Amino acid sequence: GQGTILVKYEWVSLGLGNGDYSIRGFIIAGKPRISIERKSLSDLYSTILSERDRFVRELEQLNSMEYAAVIVEAPMEKVLTYCPKYWKDNNISVEAQLSKRRSVMGSIYAWQLRYPTVRWWFVSRRYCPILCYRLLSVFYEENK
């Protein structure tokens, strides 16, 4: 996991394919009504570049929910300029790095259109748990 988010509602950690967080009592027949997938910047890159098929299946699941979000723990500017340690250690060329960044960003742009129920947020790691809390709280209050 991503750590604990303290809320006055009982949140649950979900299994693979359903995101990271939901609200207990808002899961019907094993399917959450709301789900939040939280990604660190390094996880975002490795997921898109190395685990793409699995992540697309997860996005398809998320898109079938009433509300779903992918929260990336980095502002968009950092996503656009990210350089994983692996790239530096293995002397990945500047051209290859640019190509990988374009692939990541192109995927995110396409998925925002292809899976319109899934909202993408790009916020600081510090703000991420606050955003998770707010989204879950508002959904709970509007749907209890």
Predicted pLDDT at 89: 85
Cα 131–chain centre separation: 12
pLDDT digit string, tens, across residues 21-35: 888 888 888 888 999
In the chain, where are the structural domains located?
11-143
**Residues in the chain, how many?**
144
d(CA 138, CA 85): 38
pLDDT digit string, tens, across residues 77-132: 999 999 988 888 889 999 999 999 999 999 999 999 999 999 999 999 999 999 99
Q: How large a percentage of the chain has pLDDT more than 70?
A: 88
Predicted pLDDT at 1: 46
HSE toward the beta carbon, residue 11, CA cutoff 13 A: 23
Q: With left for phi above 0 and alpha for psi between -120 and 50, is residue 29 left, alpha or beta?
A: left
CATH number of this structure's domain 11-143: 3.40.50.10130
- At which residue do the structure tokens 């899934």 appear? 118
